Amino acid sequence: MTAALRMTSVDADLGGRPVLRGVDLSLHAGEFAALLGPNGAGKTTLIRAALGLIPLRAGGITCTGAGYVPQRHEFSWDFPASVQDAVLSGLVRRIGLFRRPAVAHWRAVWDALDQVHLADLRKRPVGELSGGQRQRVLVARALVLQPSVLLLDEPFTGLDMPAQETLTALFTAIARDRAVLMATHDLAAAAYTCDRLILLNRSVVAAGPFADLRDPEIWMRTFEVGPASHLLKSLSLAGV
């Protein structure tokens, strides 16, 4: 099976500082994978490299089409736009800056809104939405491109538990026919909801289902913590 995203021996720098070294990973349709690691581990850099936004120092990346969901604070929610206009903005490069969208473009917008269960709010100003609804708008904005892999950068930040659970169910459904890679700090939720975990600290320390990553040493190396860390306790790994 062709991978939706494949990285081979990827090295990448940021501001002249080495961030990623020797990264190998692949994602296939039907996978919901979590990218886990401490601050500064290179999670956001890896996502930006996958999008072609960062030049590689070495290695290669192949991607059959990516959609990117940024953190909510990166979008201007006070801009006077409707939900459907915000989603349509994901097609600007495809449509052209000064061209009017065609019927096919609007159909793609409405289909994306259906997928995130916001079709009934398509004409509502984005500034009136809740935090969870805003996050779903960003997901629809990425899905409108019909990507083979969806890249999520900390999608749960600042959201309450009901909104997080709604989004988790949404991401699981989206991953049925495409690959989903989610960078997150919510280790426990990722461990018990994602098909595969990718532990990153500048390079991939380990990857696999949580059931195969029960060795505390793997997590201690990734997060640079000791055996008494609350991190291990939160994952029920302390004393294993």
Burial of 95 (0-12, 13-18, 19+ CB in 10 A): middle
- Write out pLDDT tens, residues 190-239: 998 999 999 999 999 999 999 999 999 999 999 999 998 998 888 888 55
Percent of all residues in the chain with a pLDDT value above 70, rounded to a whole number: 97
Please report which confidence band the pLDDT of residue 240 belongs to, taking 50, 70 and 90 as the band edges: very low
Q: Identify the DSSP state of 100.
A: P
Q: If we measure between CA atoms, which residue out of 67, 72, 159 comes closest to residue 115? A: 67
**CATH for 1-65+186-240?**
3.40.50.300
Where along the chain do its domains lie? 1-65+186-240
Q: Model's pTM, two decimal places?
A: 0.93
**Is the pLDDT at 2 greater than 70, yes or no?**
yes
User: What local confidence, expressed as pLDDT, does residue 96 receive?
Assistant: 66
- Report the chain's mean pLDDT, rounded to a whole number: 92
Q: How far apart are CA 143 and CA 137, in angstroms?
A: 10
- Write out pLDDT tens, residues 105-163: 999 999 999 999 999 999 999 989 999 999 999 999 999 999 999 999 999 988 899 99
What's the average model confidence in pLDDT over 72-98? 82
- Write out pLDDT tens, residues 14-69: 888 999 999 999 999 999 999 999 999 999 999 999 999 999 999 999 998 999 99
Query: At 85, is the secondary structure helix, strand, or coil?
Result: helix
User: What local confidence, expressed as pLDDT, does residue 188 receive?
Assistant: 87
Amino acid at 30: G
